[in-house]
Each structure stands twice: as C-alpha cells, then as structure tokens.
Amino acid sequence: KGGEVWVSLEGNAWRRHGLNDVSIDPLSVWPWRQEFLAPSPVVESQSRILTSQDGWTWEELAPGQLAPFGTQMQFATGNGTMVGVLYNGLALVWSTNGRTWVRVPMEGYLSAISYGNGLFVVARTYQRDGGTQSSMLTSQEGLSWSEHPTPATNRLRGVVYGNKAFVAVGEYGTLLSSY
C-alpha cells in the first residue's frame, strides 16, 4: 500500500500527497462527472473502486461495489456512459454510474478506446487465417458493437479522437485515420 498523488488546481503548481492506506494505479485514474475514479489492486480477482472529489482525498466504495476488472485499464466516457478496455484485452466493462459494472466479453485483443462524435471506438487485433488482423469496433452506447476491418496487419496500441477524426497507432509504424 501507499504511493503518492500529485494534485494541481491550475496545472502549473503541483503538491505531492502521500497515500498511506490506499494504492492507486497511476495509469487508471479517470474523471467521471464530478469525481475521479480509480481501480485499486486486485483482491479476490476483482478490483476495489476508489473515488475522489478533489484528487487529494480517496475513499473506497462499499465492499459490494467491486469492479469486474484488473487494476490497469483504459476508459472513455460519452453519452452518460463509461466504457473501459481491460489491459488483458479480452473484455470491455460498461457503467452508467461508475459503481455498478457490466462485463462485455469480446473476441480478439482489445488495446485502446476513445470517444468522439457520438461513438465509442475500440482498437482490436486478432489472429485469422494464420496472420494478424486489426479492426475497429464502434458503438453508440457501449454495449452492442459493429466491426470495421482495417488494412493493418500489426497490433494496434492506441486510438484517439480529435479534429473530427479518429486516429489509431500500432506496432511498426502503423497509423490509421478515419478521414
């Protein structure tokens, strides 16, 4: 247990805060409505969810509100929904309140998620016909997904939305754009 969090109100002056009684994965702290959410280390195959209003004081949700995922994941929020990609790449998790989660099993390796223009977009890589293939999955609500094949034959590692386009990056210089 333990660790530290750095907090800033304006982005240029930072204060260090030691965490004596909680552990937070720094790759998995995400804003959600008027608070921050972070999974804590796995206990009995499930993470505990920590919340904070200010990034300084963290508290654990009730024991019955365990998240069906490990400590490291990537989230995207939109349409009043939070969707996360598990870093083991085998499933998504979905929530409308950050406390109750639905696990959405998927085939292939899911590596990244983004939200923009009313869509969640997930980068997926899988093995087919003896080779590596990649596709993008899209969803408006985060539960039902449509597949869109890509020409990429390398593992995709990230996807972002900006300037009215999604951009995905992958191994060996792979770069895809929705333009």
pLDDT of 2 higher than 60: no
pLDDT, tens only, 135-177: 999 999 999 999 999 988 888 888 999 999 999 998 888 898 8
pLDDT of 62 higher than 70: no
pLDDT of 45 higher than 60: no
Provide the pLDDT confidence category of residue 26 given band limits of 50, 70 and 90: low
Distance from C-alpha of 143 to C-alpha of 91, rounded to nearest angstrom = 11
Which residue bears the tokens 């009043």? 80
Find residue 6's DSSP bridge partners: 16
Global pTM value: 0.77
Instruction: State mean pLDDT over 31-54.
Output: 70
Find residue 170's DSSP bridge partners: 156
